[in-house]
Amino acid sequence: MAKRRLTDQQKRRIASNKKNLTQNQHTLDNKIFDGLVVSHHGRKLVVETEDLKQYHCKLRQNLGDIACGDSVVIQLDNISDENPNAIVVAVNERKNLLQKTGFAGQAKAVAANIGQVAIVCSVIPEPNPYLIDRYLIATENLRANVLIILNKIDLLNDENRQSINDLKNVYKNIGYHLIETSVKKNIGIDELKSALDNTISILVGLSGVGKSSLVKILLPETEIRIGETSDATGEGKHTTTVSSLYHLTDGGALIDSPGVRDFTPTNRNKEDIVNGFVELRHYQGYCKFKNCTHTTEPGCAISEALDNNELSQQRVNSFKKMIDDLQE
């Protein structure tokens, strides 16, 4: 569904209303403000204005998919402090929009206007490199910064140490910022706080990796539900069910998104996938065949780089699987 656009007449009316509000703060009728979506679940929104007042908002039709982090225009009609409801009448231009593939292959908005995607994985449940790589592809095509958080580092032991070290080396070697954290042992929390300063970050990852626990230690005054990991499956239960934006004390903001079992980026073509693998961009255009799919063709620059130990086998496997998924 197409996003509703403001007509010239509507834009003039909004500008006029904002000017009138500045001149007369006592007028309660027909108020129009810009606001930030700080909570989003279905068609239920909470929008925060510049004075940090929050309004429970309804949506006008044909606005399209709205996400936490969106800048919107809200209209307040005949309300009072006892009835702080409003209507979202338009969505302002976005810097970017993180999306995933939802039901029937349709793109579903996750968060808007984000400066950093913080991918949270943990020692337990065991990290899923293919999921991490799919988040990385989506982030690289947003042109947002990436932060990888390896949480629950206190659970490292002789059985998982090698696999965890291998995973860390893969992403550090290609230049990603990786922070090891433990809420129980207070490891890496100061470094994490510093990495989240002065930007809007979204925490993404599997259920049970400890996103809500991290939000709780970053914002101790905020009421955050903490979930548990299932002893039977080793996976987490969905604790966060609504995307919410929190203001950080040292600047910046943090969006806590619901945990997932899976994430599929909305790759439009092979170029999106190549661009999402930062270490593969260098080889683009050096294959023998211009239409190389980088899978089985002779003279493929990526396959040759893998044979020369210039690339990670794990990352190339993820890349080829995404190419196959796109073709399917």
Residue 118 and residue 228 share a domain: yes
Residue 280 and residue 245 share a domain: no
Residue 286 and residue 252 share a domain: no
Is residue 59 in some structural domain?
yes
Summarised one tens digit per residue, pLDDT across range 167-190 is 999 999 999 999 999 999 999 999
Is residue 199 in some structural domain?
yes
Beta bridge partner(s), residue 97: 112
Which DSSP string do the residues of 122-166 spell out, in sequence order?
A: ESSSPP-HHHHHHHHHHHHHHT-EEEEEEE-GGG--TTTHHHHHH
Is residue 135 in some structural domain?
yes
Is residue 2 in some structural domain?
no
Is residue 137 in some structural domain?
yes
Residue 248 and residue 140 share a domain: yes
Residue 220 and residue 86 share a domain: no
Closest CA to 64 of 5, 4, 115: 4
Is residue 117 in some structural domain?
yes
Closest CA to 66 of 41, 102, 86: 41
> Which of 256, 288, 306 is the C-terminal boundary of a domain?
256
Domain count across the chain: 3
pLDDT in tens, the chain (328 residues): 444 455 665 555 555 544 444 443 333 445 888 999 999 876 779 999 999 999 999 888 888 889 999 999 999 866 555 656 789 999 999 999 999 988 777 888 999 999 999 999 999 999 999 999 999 999 999 989 999 999 999 999 999 999 999 999 999 999 999 999 999 999 999 999 999 999 999 999 998 999 989 999 999 887 655 444 434 444 444 444 578 999 998 889 999 987 666 788 887 788 899 899 999 998 988 999 988 888 888 999 999 999 999 999 999 999 999 988 887 7
User: Residue 248: which domain range?
Assistant: 110-256
Is residue 281 in some structural domain?
yes
